[in-house]
Chains A and B, each alone.
Chain A
Amino acid sequence: MKKGNPSRSSHFAAGRIATVYLLLSVIWIYTSDHILAGFIHDPIRLTSAQTWKGWFFVLTTSSLLFILVRRALGALHASEVRYRSIFENNHAVMLVIDPVDGRIVDANAAAVRWYGWTKEELCRRRIDEINTLSEEEIRSEMEKATERQIWHFIFRHRRADGSVRDVEVFSGPVTIKEQTLLYSIVHDITEKKLAEEEIYRLNAELEDRVRRRTVELETVNRELESFAYSVSHDLRAPLRAIDGFTHILHEEYASRLDTEGNRLCSIISSNARRMGQLIDDLLAFSRLGRTEFKQVPVDMTALAATVFDELTIARNREQIIFNLAPLPPVVGDPGLLRQVWVNLLDNAVKFSTRAEQPAIAVEALEQGGEIVYAVSDNGAGFDMRYTGKLFGVFQRLHGEKEFPGTGLGLALAQRIVQRHGGRIWGEGVPGAGATFFFTLRRNEV
């Protein structure tokens, strides 16, 4: 940034030109007089030649002066016109104010248009007739602008039609003819401010709505909880009675029952137990939505291996060819992800028991931002026409006698995967096996 007063540098330039002129003139007069005296010895002719020389000097320097002044004045004029037009023709509203008394010294065409007063009317006003702040406050703000402490202001300005608009003002000092004035660029932000207020209002409304919805959801959740509670309590007791008394009947009255009677007793018992299992699964399913959701790194390879071991203790593990590829770890809830492996591997084990050589493979591949895990078996498989039913609550594609189950396992797995932001689907061929896929977001573990 250039420092100092512009009029001082022009003083300096003018002084330099004058000095050079003075030196050159002295040298010219002195040397030319000597040279002439050397050539012309007749005093009368010498005087006449010196007179001509003087005229020549005056003529030359005045021509030079003419050229110099014309160029300087022309440049000055051009620059003034240029700057004037930047001020005058600018689409931004501009004012020049005298900070001493707040009088408007100049205003451009945009200012005339925007304020609605003629230029003469504007220039008769003081800024405190336009700015809604008090005289005192305006003086203090103008001081800050003059001293370059602040250059950006938010004010409210009155216009000729009586309207008051919100404005953003860029202001700073400018020195013209030794006098410090304030230039101000005024920008109407009324609409912008209204829009901002609207956004604030909408935001507040949205927050309010979210709050209301949360309260509603909490109420529903509480109702669900009390429902689950009463299901767990009220449905279990009669089942226990059915199972218990059938058992007693079977135990204490066995002698009076024939084979068929005993068979009927065990049917009642096994159904009561099955229903108990269903209720437990259903409760686990409903609890899923209410429990806290952990986010920790989970070693999926170790998890799948442990779950497979646990599931196959009772069954014959050696008979199954279990192929577990290294799986990428994820961030999620270990307890819930474990449940997914339990359900998928349990199905794989269950449905492949009848295969001649049961084989289960677990692998994963990274695809874009997610990891796709796959569990495949060579078991009973399923008809792709029924894929829509796979993940429904209590939906089963196989008879209870053929492959036991409550029809909740895959529904539970789906709910867990979805809570982790992933998807789950299955592909199968009847009699040739099934593959279940689920995706999880890949995180930096």
Chain B
Amino acid sequence: MEYPEPSDILLVEDNPQDAELTMRILRKHHPTERILHVVDGAAALDVLCGHTGRDQRLPRVVFLDLKLPKVDGLEVLRTVKADEHTRSIPVVVLTSSREDSDIRSAYALGANGYVVKPVNYDEFQDAVQGLGAYWLQLNQSPD
């Protein structure tokens, strides 16, 4: 199996339009960071926990949608946070759901952030840009 290129940002998003908009904004503001986009939870787990070569570089941040095909976002979060090897990767939930139950579950499973995608594009742009600036520039993660 061919391993994907090591990346800085892992975007887990099944909606192609949302993914395109998100990546557009991220590329615009962080042109040097590599972005890997996967469309379901199973693919995300493959990238993060699926390979045996533990020395491979892991993404610096994961932007995770909740409603995903195959394995849903909360399940991805549970698996990532249960694995000692991947636990320290910051996972930010980026979703349309503002349901209290989702927010509570995500934090209970160890999410590092929870952002509701605004409908308004200006606000959406601000949100994604802010996330990029915080997690890629401001925040210090363990190596």
Contacts and interface: CB of A to CB of B under 8 A. Distances in A.
Interface stretch (A102-110, A233-241, A332-340, A414-422): A233-241
Given A241-B18, A244-B17, A236 B117 contact: yes
B96 A237 contact: yes
Contact of B17 (A233, A245, A279): A245
A244 B126 CA distance: 12
B131 to A, nearest CB: 15
A232 B124 contact: no
Contacts of B118: 240, 276
Given A233-B67, A272-B119, A276-B119, A240 B124 contact: yes
A332 B121 CA distance: 37
Contact of A233 (B24, B97, B121, B122): B97
Contacts of B21: 240-241, 244-245, 248
A83 interface: no
Given A232-B98, A246-B121, A279-B119, 14 more contacts: A228-B99, A232-B96, A233-B96, A236-B117, A236-B119, A237-B17, A237-B18, A240-B117, A244-B17, A247-B121, A247-B122, A248-B24, A275-B119, A276-B120
Contacts of B121: 240, 243-244, 246-247, 269
Interface string B3-14: 000000000000
Contacts of A247: 121-122
Contacts of A238: 17
Given A269-B121, A276-B119, A241 B17 contact: yes
Contacts of A237: 15, 17-18, 96, 117
Contact of B99 (A232, A243, A245, A269): A232
A229 B24 contact: no
Secondary structure call for the A interface: helix
B67 A240 contact: no
Contacts of B17: 237-238, 240-241, 244-245
A246 B118 CA distance: 15
Contacts of B95: 233
Contacts of B67: 233
Contacts, number: 60
A36 B96 CA distance: 137
19 contacts: A228-B99, A232-B97, A232-B98, A234-B96, A236-B96, A236-B119, A237-B96, A239-B119, A240-B118, A240-B119, A240-B121, A241-B18, A243-B121, A244-B17, A269-B121, A272-B119, A276-B119, A279-B119, A283-B98
Most A Cβ at <10 Å: residue of B24, B95, B99, B117: B99
Interface in B88-140: 95-99, 117-122, 124
Contacts of B122: 247
A165 interface: no
* Top 3 closest pairs, chain A to chain B, by CB: A276-B119, A241-B17, A243-B121
Contact of B120 (A233, A234, A243): A243
A273 interface: yes
Contacts of A272: 119
Most B Cβ at <10 Å: residue of A239, A240, A272, A279: A240
Interface in A200-240: 228-229, 232-234, 236-240
Contacts of A248: 21, 24
Contacts of A240: 17-18, 21, 96, 117-119, 121, 124
Nearest to A243: B121
Interface string A272-294: 11011001000100000000000
A236 B24 CA distance: 19
Contacts of A275: 119
Interface in A260-278: 269, 272-273, 275-276
